[in-house]
Amino acid sequence: MLSPPAPHPREVPGTTLGGTFGGEIGYSAMDASFWNTRYGQSDYLYGTEPNDFLTAHSSLFPEDAEVLCLADGEGRNGVYLASRGLRVTAVDSSSVGLEKARRLAAERQVPLEAVVADLADWDLGVDRWDGVVSIWAHLPREIRSTLHPRIRRALRPGGVLLMEHYHPKQIPYGTGGPSDPAMMLTLAELEGDFASWEHLHVFEGERNVQEGDKHSGLSYVTQAILRKPRGSRELP
């Protein structure tokens, strides 16, 4: 039997659900309103089960690790990690999505810090996290080009970045993801942006994705699990 939700032990800058709800920092109205509408149904858009690539590799995060889930939407991935005992912060620009994430965490009786913020300029901190998880966090190149250096600084040495995104070759598959290939990710981009990080797993290619009717069928994905070199510090 799990114990009732406990408050998250650390404060994270940004607007947390359950605290002040207005005044989101760096809010991107267009993105957030699109996703708020999409999440405005009672069902969970991608279901409440976690992404299966994440579940296959989540044991890489040490017990009680502090993990940041980027663009966590309705929270299925963050809540799953919290249910494994990790201390999870979920960030997303959709207040509607994160409200559902908070509800899911309460149902499962796990703590989840939910921060409404725009990843275009949200401060991820420095040497702050043991893990960063990015599942289908499709963002324009302009945002990725500043977000990736912020992820580099934000992970502690030895910390792990786990990502699964659609690859630009996903477009003709029509089984999920944005319509703009520039929002998708290649290994070449990641390898450039995280040069010198240890490759625990890298993959570009086809796999079957089943996460509700929006992510359904044979797909072309980019997966990476990268470890920040121990003893390395990125300059702020």
Ligand X SMILES: C[S@@+](CC[C@H](N)C(=O)[O-])C[C@H]1O[C@@H](n2cnc3c(N)ncnc32)[C@H](O)[C@@H]1O
**Distance between CA atoms of residues 96 and 182, nearest Å:** 26
Residue 53 interacting with ligand X (CB under 6 A): no
Q: In the complex with ligand X, which residue's Cβ is closer, 80 or 197?
A: 80
Does residue 28 interact with ligand X by CB under 6 A?
A: yes
Residue number of the CB atom closest to ligand X: 73
Site stretch for ligand X (CB under 6 A), options 5-13, 92-100, 183-191, 202-210: 92-100
Region label for 186, one of left (φ > 0), alpha (ψ between -120 and 50) or beta (otherwise): beta
Contact between 76 and ligand X (CB under 6 A)? yes
Contact mark string toward ligand X, 138..167, x via CB under 6 A: -x---x------------------------
Tokens of 229: 């070199």
Q: With H, G, I as helix, E, B as strand and everything else as coil, classify residue 218.
A: strand
CA distances to 52, 90, 175 from 124, rounded to whole Å, are: 25, 12, 31
Is 93 a binding residue for ligand X by CB under 6 A? The answer is yes
Residue 132, phi-psi category: left (phi > 0), alpha (psi -120 to 50), beta (remainder):
beta
Q: Does 72 bind ligand X (CB under 6 A)?
A: yes
Among 8, 17, 24, 46, binds ligand X (CB under 6 A): 46
Q: How far is the CB of 136 from ligand X (least distance, A)?
A: 4
- Asked if 54 contacts 79 with a C-beta cutoff of 8 angstroms, the reply is no
Question: In whole angstroms, how close is the CB of 55 to ligand X at the nearest point?
Answer: 12
The answer to whether the CB of 161 falls within 8 A of the CB of 226 is yes
Is 54 one of the binding residues for ligand X (CB under 6 A)?
no
Query: Which is nearest to 175 in space by CA: 167, 186, 185, 163?
Result: 167
Regarding 14 and contact with ligand X (CB under 6 A), the answer is no
Q: Tell me which of 15, 16, 58, 77 binds ligand X, using CB under 6 A.
A: 77
Cα(101)–Cα(154) distance, integer angstroms: 23
Q: Does 24 bind ligand X (CB under 6 A)?
A: no
Taking CB under 6 A as the binding criterion, the range among 115-123, 189-197, 201-209, 226-234 that sits at the site for ligand X is 115-123
In the complex, minimum distance from the CB of residue 192 to ligand X, in angstroms, rounded to a whole number:
21
Type of residue at 57: H
**Two tokens at 224?**
């990476």
Is residue 106 within 8 A of residue 18, CB to CB? The reply is no
Residues that bind ligand X (rule: CB under 6 A) add up to a total of 22
* Residue selected from 17, 88, 105, 119 as contacting ligand X according to rule CB under 6 A: 119
